[in-house]
Amino acid sequence: MSKKRNRSRRRSREAPGPAGFLVVDKPSGMTSHDVVDAARRWLGTRRVGHLGTLDPQATGVLPLAVRDATKLISFITKDEKSYQGSVRLGIETDTLDAQGEVTARHEGELPDRDAFEAALEGFRGPIDQVPPMYSAVKKNGVPLHRLARRGEEVERDPKRVTIHRLELTAFEDGLAEVDVDCSVGTYVRVLASEIGDALGCGAHLEGLRRVRSGPFGIEQAVPFEQLEAEAEAGGIDKRVISPADAMELPVLELAEAGTRRVRHGGDISPGARLRIAPGDRVVAIDIDGELVGLLELRADRRLWPLRVFGAESN
C-alpha cells in the first residue's frame, strides 16, 4: 500500500474541524509536547504542532498549529518573543532556573536596584549566548540535557541573539522582575545567570512567563484547564484562529475552477479588486470557506501557491 494511500486513510479517520492556530496559556509543570498531545485529543487530529517550545516550569503563550495550518509554521513570523521573568540574585543552580540543584550561594550583601539596573545595559542589543547544558540543543546528535543528566559537560558553540528590550519592572529583597523582548533562540535563564555573573553574586531564573510569540499575544491565550473543559463540551473549535487572521493577510475566495487549479499547483490572476504588490501574500479559500492555499504575487502579476491544502494536494 502506498504512503499516499496510508496518509489518506489516517486523515479520513480525523474528526472534522477547522485549520488554524490555537493559543494555549501553558501551565507550569507541563512540557510543550504534553500540551500538543492534549490538543490532539481535544481536536480529534494528530496534525498539531507548536511554534516554539517553553520550558516545563515556564507559563504563557504556546501557539499551536492545527490540521493544514501545520504547513504554515515556517511562514509565521516567529523572530520576536516577549517574556516576564523573575531573577533571583545570590543563588546559582545547575539548570540556571528554579528546577535545578543549588550549586552556589553568595555570602554577603546583594547588589541593590541601581546596581542591577546598571548591569542590564551590557545585555541589550546583539549578544552571544552559550546554550545551557540542560537544553534540547544537540551535540553530535545527542541532546545536551541527556548528557547533563549523566554528569557530563561538553563544549558548546555560542550563538548570536538579540535582546531588543530589557527593562527592570520591580526589585525587592534580591528578586528582580524584568521584561524581555528578544529574538528567537534566546535563553532567558542564560540571561539571568549572566546578569548574576556580571554583578558578582550569581543568579538564576526563578520564574518565566511568555507573553508574546511572533504574532500571538497573551490576550489571545486561553488557560489549559479552560480549553480542556471546552473540548469536553464540544466548543473548542471556536478557539481556533484562522490563518488569514493569524497572519494578517487578505483573503481571496476562489470559484471551483480556481480552487482546482491552485490545488494542482497552478497560478491564478489576483483579479482587479485585490490590491497587492509583488511579494505580498494572500490566503485562498474555496466557496465553502475551506483553506485552499497560501499564495504569493510574483513579478508576472500572477498568484503562485507557496502551500496548498485539501485532499487533492496530499
Active site residues: 55
DSSP string, 221-283: -EEHHHHHHHHHTT-GGGGPBPHHHHHT--EEE--HHHHHHHHTT--B---SS----TT-EEE
**Contact indicator for 217, 211 with CB cutoff of 8 Å:** yes
d(CA 208, CA 191): 12
The DSSP output letter for 110 is P
Looking only at the bridges linking them, the beta strands covering 222-223 and 20-26 are: parallel
Which single residue is written with the C-alpha cell 481536536? Answer: 43
- In degrees and rounded to multiples of 5, residue 118 shows phi and psi of -65, -35
CA dihedral (31, 33, 34, 36) in degrees, to 10, reads 130
Radius of gyration of the chain (CA): 23
Q: What are phi and psi of 214, to 5 degrees?
A: 60, -125
